[in-house]
């Protein structure tokens, strides 16, 4: 295998890199040129000016870096997107219980994804020499969904999530910036067509404008990011949901037959599978730490989870 990085695009090596990514368990591996994403600048600027990010202050920081990957990694030439499936099987029982989003039912994806990406980076450096590479998993000034779309991992659906025609949308996204010059893939094209299932399924109207999320109406925002009291008009539509909401994904035609995850850490624990409403309502802080110590749920803490449980219980 070549250990040299030439100025020409590594066209012949793209298939090799993708093959290794899939061998290591990633769902998809795509490539894009590291050019400023000017087509989203106007929308992003307007989004911030209208304060649609609400309490997500990190979206305001490092705006120019988000618009120019060379400010994040000088000399960057290519961006590699990696996705990792998390659709959990078997499903957590929802009858006489409360519901947390599928992505949060197992181990914290940040740590799992980072470990897998670090292993992949080690392979890239061993294969291609002194490559410079930076990884991002919900971190740093990287518009991850844009680069996933640009590199062919999927299109942004009317529910604002990235959807792949064969793999659906139950996956995590990781982004690599590198000075390796790799041939770009074609961006994914939109296959939502006339379908409005996600819009109809959203009980709060957060998706009434297709392809845009009204965060102030989103159950996921209010059960995860909102640190204040949940508004009454959102509580009315919680159902049994206490952390996140998968409704707009569950009804998507491209998620009709989701592949079970091959990552055992993403599977729900037996203890979580056995939780009923009585157990949730009587959850102690010690039990919270045991159940969610290595889960995305830990980031909202015990008090906010109990706030959500009490709100959903009526």
* Calpha distance 246→200 (Å, rounded): 13
Q: At 106, is the secondary structure helix, strand, or coil?
A: coil
- Alpha-carbon 312 to chain mean position: 25
Helix axes 301-312, 285-292, angle to 10 degrees: 100
Give the residue numbers annotated as catalytic, written as ranges: 138
- Alpha-carbon 18 to chain mean position: 20
pLDDT at 101: 95
Cβ atoms within 10 Å, residue 286: 9
pLDDT at 163: 97
pLDDT tens per residue, range 213-272: 999 999 999 999 999 999 999 999 999 999 999 999 999 999 998 778 889 999 998 899
Q: At 284, is the secondary structure helix, strand, or coil?
A: coil
Exposure string over 248-264, b if 16+ CB within 10 A, otherwise e:
bbebbebbeebeebebe
Tokens of 233: 């008009």
Helix axes 14-23, 109-128, angle to 10 degrees: 140
Whether the CB-CB separation of 30 and 148 falls below 8 Å is answered with yes
Of 171, 149, 174, residue with least CA distance to 82: 174
3-state helix, strand and coil shares in percent for the chain, rounded to the nearest 5: 40, 10, 45
Enumerate residue ranges in the chain where pLDDT < 50: 1-8
Q: At 220, is the secondary structure helix, strand, or coil?
A: helix
Q: How far apart are the first and last CA of the chain?
A: 62
pLDDT at 61: 65
Q: At 259, is the secondary structure helix, strand, or coil?
A: coil
Interacting residues of 306 by C-beta distance below 8 A, sequence separation 6+: 283
* Calpha distance 191→255 (Å, rounded): 13
pLDDT tens per residue, range 19-37: 999 999 999 999 999 999 8
* Calpha distance 271→256 (Å, rounded): 27
pTM, 2 dp: 0.90
């Amino acid at each position: 295998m070549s250990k040299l990085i030439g100025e020409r695009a590594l066209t012949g090596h793209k298939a090799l890199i993708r093959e290794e990514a899939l061998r290591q368990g990633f769902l998809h591996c795509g490539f894009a040129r590291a050019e400023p994403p000017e087509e989203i600048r106007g929308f992003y600027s307007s989004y911030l000016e209208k304060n649609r990010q609400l309490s997500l202050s990190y979206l305001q920081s490092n705006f120019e870096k988000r618009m120019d990957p060379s400010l994040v990694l000088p000399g960057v030439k290519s961006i590699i997107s990696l996705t990792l499936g998390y659709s959990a099987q078997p499903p957590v029982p929802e009858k006489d219980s409360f519901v947390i989003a599928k992505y949060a039912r197992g181990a914290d994806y940040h740590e799992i994804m980072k470990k897998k990406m670090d292993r992949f980076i080690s392979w890239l450096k061993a294969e291609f020499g002194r490559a410079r590479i930076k990884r991002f998993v919900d971190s740093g000034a990287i518009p991850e969904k844009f680069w996933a779309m640009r590199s062919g991992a999927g299109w942004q659906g009317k529910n604002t999530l990235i959807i792949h025609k064969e793999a659906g949308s139950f996956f995590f996204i990781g982004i690599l910036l590198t000075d390796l010059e790799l041939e770009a893939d074609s961006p994914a094209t939109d296959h939502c067509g006339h379908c409005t299932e996600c819009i109809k399924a959203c009980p709060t109207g957060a998706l009434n404008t297709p392809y845009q999320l009204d965060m102030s109406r989103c159950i996921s925002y209010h059960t995860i990011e909102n640190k204040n009291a949940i508004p009454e008009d959102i509580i009315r539509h919680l159902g049994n949901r206490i952390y996140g909401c998968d409704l707009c994904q569950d009804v998507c035609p491209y998620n009709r037959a989701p592949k079970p995850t091959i990552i055992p850490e993403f599977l729900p624990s037996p203890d979580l599978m056995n939780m009923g409403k009585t157990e949730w309502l009587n959850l102690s802080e010690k039990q919270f730490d045991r159940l969610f110590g290595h889960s995305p749920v830990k980031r909202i803490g015990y008090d906010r989870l109990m706030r959500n449980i009490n709100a959903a219980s009526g």
